[in-house]
Amino acid sequence: MRVIAGTLKGRRLATPDWDGLRPTSDKLRETLFNVCAPRIEGARVLDGFAGTGAVGIEALSRGAAHVTFVESDGRAVRLIERNLDHCRVGDRYAIIRARFADAARRLSAGSFGLVFLDPPYRAEDMAGVLDAAAPLVAPDGLVVLEHARRDVAPPVAASIVRARNILSGDSALTIYEAA
């Protein structure tokens, strides 16, 4: 796994040495950032279900002002810390070790220009995750949900509405905008 573009381009990131964590592929991250590129520079980004931290680190590399990583697994939090230390990104981030729904209740409404969510691939969890994330996105921001291609993302959740669906291999990115 590597950083695809920006100031950290080519930097290798550590990957998990345990089962159960499915990092977003380089190809899918490249697609995500090609679509969201105009919104990254200076943005506050939320990387929910952060795993390795690759999406948030890519955002920092491409000019995001700040990234908040949310991850409940202690091993993954240590992996994110290791990757951030390796990339030397300074103090432009925060890591919250908590379940996403719990962290979302503690974060300020409307404070993120981009919210990226990569929950475990279980269709029944998508609506609840989106409902928790919707209040956090700024009025002109985006929520991006990564999910299994076979699962259909909800067309509407709380105050956001599906704007675009991108398919890539077995995965999909569904992009939501404020309603």
Predicted confidence (pLDDT) per residue in 53-94, tens digit: 999 999 999 999 999 999 999 999 999 999 999 999 989 999
Assess if residue 11 is contained within a domain: no
In sequence order, what are the beta bridge partners of 118? none
Strand order across the beta sheet in which 112-117 lies:
93-97, 66-71, 44-48, 112-117, 137-148, 171-178, 160-168, 156-157
**Average of per-residue pLDDT across 89-104:** 95
Q: What percentage of the chain carries pLDDT values higher than 70?
A: 96
Assess if residue 13 is contained within a domain: no
Residue 15: the pLDDT is 87
Assess if residue 16 is contained within a domain: no
Residue 125: the pLDDT is 80
What is the number of structural domains in the chain? 1
- Give the domain CATH number at 166: 3.40.50.150
**Average of per-residue pLDDT across 154-168:** 93
Assess if residue 5 is contained within a domain: no
pLDDT surpassing 70 at residue 163: yes
Assess if residue 116 is contained within a domain: yes
Range of the domain at 39: 28-178
pLDDT in tens, 120-153: 876 568 999 999 999 999 999 999 999 999 999 9
Per-residue pLDDT band at 5 (split at 50, 70, 90) = very high
Assess if residue 1 is contained within a domain: no
Assess if residue 12 is contained within a domain: no
pLDDT in tens, 7-16: 999 999 998 8
Tokens of 138: 């700024």
Can you spell out the DSSP letters for 95-145? EEES-HHHHHHHSPTT-EEEEEE---S-GGGHHHHHHHHGGGEEEEEEEEE
Assess if residue 167 is contained within a domain: yes
Residue 64: the pLDDT is 97
Phi, psi angle pair for 56, to nearest 5°: -65, -40
